[in-house]
Structure 1
Amino acid sequence: MTTYLITGAGSGLGATAARELAARGDRVVLAVRDPARITPPPGDTEVRRLDLADLASVREFAAGWTGDLDVLVNNAGVMAVPYGKTADGFETHMAVNHFGPFLLTNLLLPHLTGRVVTVSSNLASRGKVPLDDLNWERRRYSPLGAYNQSKLANLLFTQELQRRLTESGSAVRAVAAHPGVVRTGLDRHFGRPLALLMKALYPVIAQKKAEYGALPILFAATEDVPANAYVGPGGRNGERPKLERRLDHGDAHELWEVSTRLTS
């Protein structure tokens, strides 16, 4: 039996992936901010509290993990939220989408036996990661720009994690995936003009079923994909996901060092 840990598994793509893996007979731990609101899917499942916006919560969660963990799926995320800072002083997108998963992965590495799957987005291609201003203290804040930045950080993290795993002789693989355009409610913070535009475009560009959006994540988590791979959807109608490219971005090492310092 394979043990999966999925963050942000209370709704959306994370909940879909958890349901599918549990139906296969795997053990699935759903990490969510409010366990009391979550009904786990049938099967060998468990709900545990994890707030990625709070590094103390991340440390508490990791300290409570015992035994092996086959696959960690860093799925939780926020998108285009208004400017805000967490108790740790991080901009919200970077806290939830990058710094929290970064710390969680590093703390759980001693337990990991299989792979780390980090969910990014094609909007990472529009992102920039200014290492001297990751928390938007010197720039005019852009909600979508902050999201794009955090999704690029996911790819940089995956690339550098794999480099370090390979260098240490570990068999654990780091891969990334993106779901394509899926309407899951993650876009609920869009401003009115963008929300109206996306409402018009969704029938044309989005996956026809939310379940299709989870397929690249499941593919990256269960199939024999190469290390440092990037998995995307095969189409809008549930086609077999595809390997898009191996990750090769600059600043991966530098972002790792800054993230290490900021998360202590």
Structure 2
Amino acid sequence: MDSWTAEDMPDLHGRLAVVTGATGGIGRVTARELARAGAEVVVTGRDPGRARRAAEEVAGEVPGARVRPDLLDLADLAGMTGFAHRMEHGDRPLDVLVNNAGVMAVPERRTTKDGFEYTMGVNHLGHYALTGRLLPLLLRAPDPRVVTVSAAIARSPMAELSDLQSARSYHPMAAYAKSKLANVLFALELQRRADAAGATLTSVAVHPGGSATGLQRYAPRPLRFLARVALEPLVGHDVAEAALPSLYAATAAGVQPGGFYGPTGRFEQRGGPGPVELPAQTADPDLGLRLWEASEALTHVAYRWPRR
């Protein structure tokens, strides 16, 4: 069977999608291709100018695209609530939420506006809170999907959550690894809770494989150079191909709720999208439950499910 491509997406006219971190890299490609398939897409970013330019670029590349920018800073819970209120005022069901934004290898321990360690705050806690804020709109859609972008490093021994916010010890890549494990655990626990509530919602995690994207901006210059000249051409794939797992999970028929999707080629660094192995740590459902409870306590965002 030929590899799945963006051209295989179904017609998305009448659907509404939100893509976080859509001002560049994988997020921008994801927004563009969803728009190309007919969806109305909200391009979000923490910089309003960059979000506006990204939306304009997508509109220029896709004739007839319905795309609009909006401000969304995942390091600011109050601003996130404002974004959710603007979405609610639009009075439209939300069909697709792609939790794509992220940071990697922040060189020193920083905190968000709400005092969370920055990597965990943006990559996991921000998306946990955003999804909870948008849950009522998602549940109004006939077949809503939440796609949370993780990374293969979620399988690393560094990915352990005993020191969730790296308060005892901070290492840039360890902080990133644990946030990426948190992404997968969140996606699985969200599916378990949706199923328990009898809600129609598909939650999956994806990883993009190897690609030189904006995530590398905090890395030392030699590593950024290495990623650009070696990671993508020799081992990984380009940004358009790296976006395919997200697009597949968001739109393809047969996507399994609670699944993990990524490139299916050598070492999962490139190749067409498909199911991939979950991190071993996810075999313990109590770990996902404890992370969820900690996330709720930290963000004060409780998910409200419909009564059965």
TM-score, normalised relative to structure 1: 0.93
Distance in 2 between residues matched to 1:205 and 1:238, nearest whole Å = 7
| Residue 232 (structure 1) shift | 0.5
The 4+ residue runs of structure 1 with deviation greater than 4 A are 192-200, 236-239
Match of 2:123 in 1: 97
Alignment of 1:93-242 (within 5 A): 93-112=119-138, 113=141, 114-126=144-156, 127-131=158-162, 133-139=163-169, 141-191=170-220, 194-195=223-224, 198=227, 201-202=230-231, 203-207=233-237, 209-224=238-253, 225-235=255-265, 239-242=271-274
1:76 aligns with 2:123: no
| Residue 238 (structure 1) shift | 7.3
Amino-acid identity (%)? 44
Match of 1:254 in 2: 290
Secondary structure at 2:217 match in 1: coil
1 or 2, which has the higher strand percentage? 1
Match of 2:275 in 1: 243
1:24 aligns with 2:37: yes
Flag the 1:15–1:193 CA change in 2: closer, same or farther, 3 A.
closer
Name structure 1 gaps, 5 residues minimum: none
| Residue 194 (structure 1) shift | 4.4
| Residue 179 (structure 1) shift | 0.5
Q: Contact conserved, 2:112 with 2:121, CA < 8 A, in 1?
A: yes
| Residue 180 (structure 1) shift | 0.1
1 or 2, which has the higher helix percentage? 2
Secondary structure at 1:95 match in 2: helix
| Residue 191 (structure 1) shift | 3.0
Flag the 1:240–1:33 CA change in 2: closer, same or farther, 3 A.
same
Distance in 1 between residues matched to 2:83 and 2:228, nearest whole Å = 37
| Residue 201 (structure 1) shift | 3.8
Match of 1:35 in 2: 48
Q: What is the CA deviation profile of residues 102-153 of structure 1, one whole-angstrom value per residue up to 9, with x for unaligned ones? A: 000011111103110000000111143334x3211112x1101100010000
Q: Over the residues paired in the alignment, what is the CA RMSD in angstroms? A: 1.9
Secondary structure at 1:262 match in 2: helix
Distance in 2 between residues matched to 1:200 and 1:61, nearest whole Å = 38
Match of 2:3 in 1: none
Q: Contact conserved, 1:156 with 1:249, CA < 8 A, in 2?
A: no
Secondary structure at 2:218 match in 1: coil
Q: Contact conserved, 1:157 with 1:252, CA < 8 A, in 2?
A: yes
Name structure 2 gaps, 5 residues minimum: 1-13, 60-64, 301-308
Secondary structure at 2:208 match in 1: coil
Distance in 2 between residues matched to 1:241 and 1:35, nearest whole Å = 32
Flag the 1:197–1:12 CA change in 2: closer, same or farther, 3 A.
closer
